[in-house]
Amino acid sequence: MNESDRSKTDMPCGGTTPETDQLHVFDWLHESLEEREAAGLLRRPAQRSTEPGLDFASNDYLGLRHDIRLHQAGIAAAATAGAGAGSSPAVSGWTGPYQDLVEALADWKRAEAALAFSSGYAANVSIVAALVTAGDAVYADRLSHACLIDGTRASGAMLRVFAHNDPESLARALERDEGRFRRRLIVTESLFSMDGDQAPLTRIADLAGKHRCMMLVDEAHATGVFGPEGRGLVDAAGLADHPAIVRMGTLSKAIGCQGGYVVGSRRLISWLIQASRGWIYSTALAPYIAGASTCAIGLIRSADSRRSYLLQSADALRATLRSYGWEVAEGQGPIVPVRIGPVEDVMRIDEFLASHGIAAGAIRPPTVPAGTARLRISLSASHGPENLDRLVRTLNLARESI
């Protein structure tokens, strides 16, 4: 091959070179980022510098993530099993700390068995996609977390959305579809992450039984906070033994660590081991996380005083904010959403709070519907009265500033 032939062979399709005709295949990113910024929707994550007592953005509901006992348990687990798990649990099995964790989860939740995932997101996507496939249907509360919707899309099942916390809407959808699908799955959060309200679990469970549906309940924000020993709202409603219900949650909120889990029958867990892609194709939880999480579960089971203080603080904060004219969503838990409305207003208030050393969650579309931007205040048992007073005073100053 001569030099002329070689140069022709080396050319990309179309007969041009990168030097003479660059394609700029990522030029669209600039325009898309500018559009998000103009709409006030550009996310700018930064290193967290807020002191724990003024951090109202995290989900550390019981104030355990800074507890030295969790750290010591994590170090002990890592010392015996290594800093990382090394591989997928489906390939090489799991470590001793992981085994201790799933046994602790099952015992705490009064279930036959448990499975732990690398994140709550991975857990929900994997569970949904393992329970339903093409030819099946998922009925999701309109405000269900994105991972439940993403799991449905990954499964190939038909997605049906029912009105938020509206069993009648769900009943109509189930009745319309009677006999149309092979398997059907109802999904809901027990405590909704953006509105702080609770699902009518008993009524939904009744519908699941009547229509022979499976029911997946995301207990991420309720675990540790509600129910006997903090077992969650399913247990508080007396539904822990309901044969149609699958319970999942996270290790990253009240438990103070990282990861996700599911509890249920041995047969269910056996099936998820076969079919949950997020468990099969991910490295198992690090021994440190497993050890710290197991320690946290032990502490949570006897943390009634923390739970009581947390819920009383949340009720008091709602009442105080309303007395100053803030629009606070109805709720029964540590999530206190303050509805602002316009994106630019919620961002100005959030920036004002940050300038005064306070962190709160500025929640914007598409996480919440357009026109409902809000501050999502998450309380912790570590927030003292002085912290709550400072939050309210600074919020009132922020409103005056805009």
**Given 119, 136, 144, 145, which residue is catalytic?**
145
Residue 59: active-site member = yes
Helical axes 96-109 vs 68-81, angle rounded to 10°: 140
State yes or no: pLDDT of 39 exceeds 90.
no
**Given 165, 193, 276, 387, which residue is catalytic?**
193
Range of weakest confidence among 23-32, 236-245, 293-302, 392-401: 23-32
Give this prediction's pTM.
0.88
State yes or no: pLDDT of 47 exceeds 80.
no
CA distance readout (Å), 73 to 46, 97, 101, 285, 297: 29, 10, 12, 15, 12
Which domains does the chain show, CATH number per domain? Answer: 47-62+304-401 (3.90.1150.10), 68-301 (3.40.640.10)
Residue 189: active-site member = yes
State yes or no: pLDDT of 8 exceeds 50.
no
**Given 109, 211, 242, 253, which residue is catalytic?**
253
Dihedral in degrees, nearest 10, Cα atoms 58, 64, 67, 70: -110
What is the rounded distance in angstroms from the CA atom of residue 289 to the CA atom of residue 70?
9
Residue 71: active-site member = no
Residue 221: active-site member = yes
**Given 218, 219, 235, 350, which residue is catalytic?**
218
Q: What pLDDT is attached to residue 53?
A: 85
- Cα–Cα–Cα angle for 378, 163, 261, nearest 5°? 50
Mean pLDDT of the chain: 92
- Summarize the chain as % helix, strand, coil (round to 5): 45, 15, 40
State yes or no: pLDDT of 6 exceeds 60.
no
Q: What pLDDT is attached to residue 309?
A: 98
What is the rounded distance in angstroms from the CA atom of residue 253 to the CA atom of residue 383?
15
Residue 210: active-site member = no
State yes or no: pLDDT of 16 exceeds 60.
no
Residue 144: active-site member = no
Q: What pLDDT is attached to residue 49?
A: 64
Quick: pLDDT tens for 339-365: 999 999 999 999 999 999 999 989 988
Question: Per-residue pLDDT averaged across 19-30, rounded?
Answer: 72
CB neighbours (10 Å) of residue 330?
10
Range of weakest confidence among 52-56, 123-127, 256-260, 381-385: 52-56
Closest by CA to 359, choosing from 9, 52, 50, is 50
Quick: pLDDT tens for 314-340: 999 999 999 999 999 888 899 999 999
Q: What pLDDT is attached to residue 131?
A: 98
Phi, psi dihedral angles at 102 (to 5 degrees): -65, -30
**Given 100, 136, 189, 197, which residue is catalytic?**
189
149 token code pair: 């919707």
What is the rounded distance in angstroms from the CA atom of residue 86 to the CA atom of residue 196?
38
**Given 211, 221, 242, 383, which residue is catalytic?**
221
Closest by CA to 278, choosing from 141, 151, 385, is 151
Closest by CA to 226, choosing from 218, 234, 216, is 234
Q: How confident is the model at residue 11 (pLDDT cuts 50, 70, 90)?
A: very low
Q: What pLDDT is attached to residue 44?
A: 80
Quick: pLDDT tens for 257-306: 999 999 999 999 999 999 999 999 999 999 999 999 999 999 999 999 99
**Given 55, 58, 59, 378, which residue is catalytic?**
59
Q: What pLDDT is attached to residue 331?
A: 86
State yes or no: pLDDT of 18 exceeds 80.
no
State yes or no: pLDDT of 31 exceeds 80.
yes
